[in-house]
Chains A and B, each alone.
With several copies, the nearest count.
Chain A
């Protein structure tokens, strides 16, 4: 499976749109998920991507706790405590769903059968290293869940995050300072200010939102490439 075509032939600077809201960001991620994909949206913010997937795209959602064909969050009478997603939130079942146990569910993940997973992150390095499970701070309780399994298992690992933390520190970095979830696993980085492709050739800016490549380059300690040769 190849991921959707990249935006045009050159990096697009969208100066007419400010930094993306979480919901707008989720829509951009959704746009890039190919029709017919099998997708895991992890927990938290990435689950918002589901709301932007076209109903007719044939995209099937996997949840690590043993289900393919997961539907939207359950409401009211639909709530069934035996039917939850990876974040333990009650969800629904779509036609064509299936259930399986945890060893089978993670065999599916580890075995490279999922086309795309979307994860949050503390940091992503220019080599695609992912840090999203543990701050490493003294007293912090480590908890990994299925993050490492997704990081090494999905064919395409997309990350969704803000590009800078609240204090302005970049989260796209030369080298992660937080403990790694997986080395060289992120292929796409979706942020409020820009979308990046990460690969052996380095970090390529695909799109910017409310900013320019030049401005990003001045705020990041990472070499940025562009598409279309400028």
Chain B
């Protein structure tokens, strides 16, 4: 059953050192900033972070990197105009990087959530990102074999949640959230507000409650300050 928290520190309690943490968001849209800040305070280290980017500016994921908690980043696009924290760590040899094509990144997490053992993907064939990977020709087309990426934890930003844990998102802030929620052992979502069970239209729920273990209600967190 989903637990609803008004306190970010309680919402992230128990994340272990060495965890693989899936972090939603595309740039800042859908980025679970309050959960990441709480994860920094919580102190888990030696993390592998899976996210589309490798942090922007000095907050959120960039701050987690700057705090030295991340051993490895798996992402599609680390280099950005404001990714100086990652850039510095990477060029100093202080962080590992696995670059994965964006769609393959999403699909590998979907596979983890969907119980698929591996899949043949056409993306990246004939490029350096397919080096040392198994390939196969199917119906005349070349594919590379890709394996699931499973998270110990997923941190996801959504728009509204209900008390049971159902989630809806807003515009392009949806991005990786629904996929990551399916791919982690422990999924923690931050939402703008929590409504009573039954208030969300069942036709419009994007992440069914089965995938959500904990919800941080930002409206409650805000009110508590």
Contact = CB atoms under 8 A, between A and B. Distances in A.
Interface of A: 35-36, 38, 58, 60, 62-69, 80-85, 88, 93, 95-103, 105-114, 134, 139, 141-149, 152-153, 179-183
Nearest to B98: A142
B29 A84 contact: yes
B224 to A, nearest CB: 24
Given A65-B29, A83-B171, A103-B110, A143 B115 contact: no
Contacts of B162: 96
B177 A142 contact: no
B208 A100 contact: yes
B28 A81 contact: yes
Interface in B106-129: 106-107, 109-110, 112-116, 121-129
Nearest to B183: A111
Given A96-B162, A101-B178, 12 more contacts: A62-B210, A81-B28, A81-B29, A82-B159, A96-B164, A101-B175, A110-B107, A144-B99, A145-B102, A146-B102, A149-B104, A182-B125
A113 B114 CA distance: 9
A176 B175 CA distance: 33
B174 A112 contact: no
Given A143-B79, A145-B76, A179-B128, A111 B171 contact: no
A142 B73 CA distance: 13
Given A67-B172, A81-B28, A99-B203, A139 B91 contact: yes
A95 to B, nearest CB: 3
Interface size class of B (residues with CB under 8 A): 35 or more
Contact of B210 (A82, A108, A144): A108
Contacts of B13: none
Nearest to B142: A183
A110 B174 contact: no
A36 B162 CA distance: 16
B18 interface: no
A84 B76 contact: no
Interface string B19-36: 000000011111000000
Contacts, number: 205
A230 to B, nearest CB: 35
B90 interface: yes
A152 B177 CA distance: 25
A88 B113 contact: no
A186 to B, nearest CB: 13
Given A88-B27, A110-B103, A111-B182, A148 B127 contact: yes
Contacts of A66: 26, 172, 174-175
Given A38-B210, A82-B30, A82-B172, A144 B166 contact: no
B1 A83 contact: no
Contact of A149 (B27, B102, B110): B102
B55 interface: no
Contacts of A85: 172
A180 to B, nearest CB: 5
Given A106-B102, A110-B123, A182-B126, A68 B182 contact: no
The 6 closest A-B pairs by CB, nearest first: A106-B103, A95-B198, A110-B115, A107-B114, A36-B1, A98-B205
B208 A98 contact: yes
19 contacts: A64-B102, A82-B30, A83-B172, A88-B26, A88-B29, A96-B163, A96-B164, A96-B200, A99-B169, A99-B202, A106-B103, A108-B182, A110-B115, A110-B121, A143-B78, A144-B99, A152-B122, A180-B126, A182-B126
